[in-house]
Amino acid sequence: VPVLVSLQVKDAGTANCSTSAACNTSSGSPAEACQLMLPCTGKFELQACTTDEQQGGGVPACANVTLGHTWEYWTTHPLLAHDTPTLTANATSYAPGAVAGLSFQNPWPNASALMVWGNDLSSLSKQLSQVPSGLVTLALPLGPDRLFDPTAPHMLRLSVDLTVQENRDLEVKLTIGQAGNSSTTGQAQTIVAPGAQTNISVAVSRQGQSVADAEVTLVAVDKAVLDLLPLPLAGLVPDLIVKLLPYLSEVNMGDAMVSPSALDEVLKSVRRRLALDPWISPDLAITPSKGLPSWQRGSGMASVDMNDTAFFQRLFTAITYGLGGPRLSSSFQTTPLFTTLRTAADGQGIATFTAPANLGTFVVRAYAVSKGGQALGSAEGQLVVRRSVATLLFNAEDNSGAGDALQVNVPVLAQQGAVILATSFALRPSNSSQGPSWQEGLVLPQAVPGSGALGLVAGVGYLPALQTAFQGILSQITA
């Protein structure tokens, strides 16, 4: 079926480009039968049309594809890269002595190429110079010569990995007010009224010995923020200490060919976005985005090539972003504590926490580094900011203007924990076909109506067996 392929300028931007091209081919023809090249920088429309006189009634059928970018687009997307050419073979398998034909589109005139072929045991190479642009076909001889000769002398290389690891962990323990909490034990919480102060003590040790002059960074963050943007406590040793191990890998030098202006744009975008939201993870990638055609890249492009709206929408859901913005208040603090201290000779350090006006649970984290940076550690605890007494004021007036007032202070209590009630009694046999019946009363604990639910578990059998089963049920309830 004859096919007409044309290339027309769609958007040249500020460039002076009005060149078009076309060629005729047919279905089933090889790729070299019709070759077109983008004449300049801009957006072009590639169209292929055919006419079926018998079944189509002479109406042409066309398919369009948009190719290329304008200079303005390249300027605003400094890390956008060229599409990677695809290397294709003229067959799926070859016999010994055959010649393989390898084809690819070369966008660079008079380029140099290096062909390397072989297997894990041996390889051959061939250097090519003055490779023309356009469709290039390379001949790769697969002669009868063996790449690997099993009868030739060999040299064996044997290796084994040995891990040499120094214990660089610091044990960090947090004591908040009167309740202790550390990175491994304890769930107690300290309650602080808004505006009140409490001490946060840090104890740093290493292998049971106190660490003096260790630098400790203390951070208190509203737990509601961490629920929206989870940020687990970092284990400093695996996260920060560089693994000085030898690796053998291949490197594409093209990934490092980035202009200084592109690097400057990456740093500018990071600073701008951190000013908008300091909780995001900075994206410092400067590798050009490539692999997919330009019209299919979508979210695979580098973050610097996105506008800020698209970047934040990729990070946050509709619940945390785009619904009217955050609640603003002059006294609302998401991070009421961010300070550093040095431990004394006994490995102890104390900081003062002033509770903010906003109520809720705050996560306190401590990051410790020994003098010289040889050992690191972290710990986490929690404290609750809430009022201990709520004041209720009642006013009443009659028609004459006389009135009275009543002020009541109501204590604010924490949420009641789980309560378990249990009872046991003996059953007497019955001759009734309905079986024995009994009544038993339970005194429920005092609680706010509607604040909880009661689950009932009943068992019948010998008391020792029931006691054993009850312990299993109890462990499941309290787990």
CA dist 104 and 94 (Å) reads 19
pLDDT tens, residue order, the chain (479 aa): 888 999 888 888 777 777 788 888 888 887 777 888 888 888 899 999 987 766 656 778 889 998 888 888 888 887 777 777 888 888 888 887 788 888 888 888 888 888 888 776 667 888 888 888 888 888 887 765 555 556 666 666 777 777 666 778 899 999 998 543 333 333 457 888 888 899 999 999 998 899 999 999 999 999 988 888 888 888 777 666 555 444 455 555 655 666 777 778 888 888 888 888 877 777 777 766 654 433 334 446 677 788 888 888 777 654 444 334 444 455 678 889 999 999 999 999 999 999 998 888 999 999 999 988 888 899 999 998 887 776 777 778 877 778 888 887 777 666 666 667 777 776 666 666 666 666 777 777 776 666 667 777 776 666 666 676 777 766 666 55
Are the beta carbons of 176 and 202 closer than 8 angstroms?
Answer: no
Q: Residue 385: left if φ>0, alpha if ψ -120 to 50, beta else—which one? A: beta
Pairing of strands 337-342, 348-354: unpaired
Classify the C-alpha dihedral 224-227-230-235 as positive or negative: positive
Beta pairing partners, 411: 389
Residue 401: phi and psi, rounded to 5, are: 95, -5
Q: What are the CA-CA distances from residue 416 to residues 158, 385, 455 (Å)?
A: 64, 17, 16
Burial (CB count within 10 angstroms: exposed 0-12, middle 13-18, buried 19+), residue 368: buried
Are 130 and 110 in contact, with CB atoms under 8 Å apart? Answer: yes
3-state secondary structure of 413: coil
The helix (H) or strand (E) run that includes residue 239 is helix 236-240
Return d(Cα 259, Cα 311) in angstroms, integer.
23
Nearest to 203 by CA among 222, 230, 223, 183: 183
φ, ψ (nearest 5 deg) of residue 268: -65, -45
CB atoms within 10 A of CB 305: 21
| Residue 100 one-letter amino acid | A
Phi, psi of 219 (to 5 degrees): -135, 130
Q: 136: which 2 tokens?
A: 């290039």
CATH topology of domain 171-242+332-385: S-adenosyl-L-methionine-dependent methyltransferases (2.20.130)
pTM (global) more than 0.75:
no
Q: Would you say how long the chain is, in residues?
A: 479
Q: Where are the domains of the chain?
A: 2-77, 87-164, 171-242+332-385
Residue 452 is predicted with a pLDDT of 67
Backbone angles phi, psi at 309, to 5 degrees: -65, -45
Residue 100's φ and ψ, nearest 5 degrees, are -85, 135
Q: What's the CA gap between 169 and 378, in Å, rounded?
A: 9
Q: Determine the residue type at 466.
A: L
Spell out the residues 6+ positions from residue 427 whose beta carbon is closer than 8 angstroms to its own: 436, 438, 460
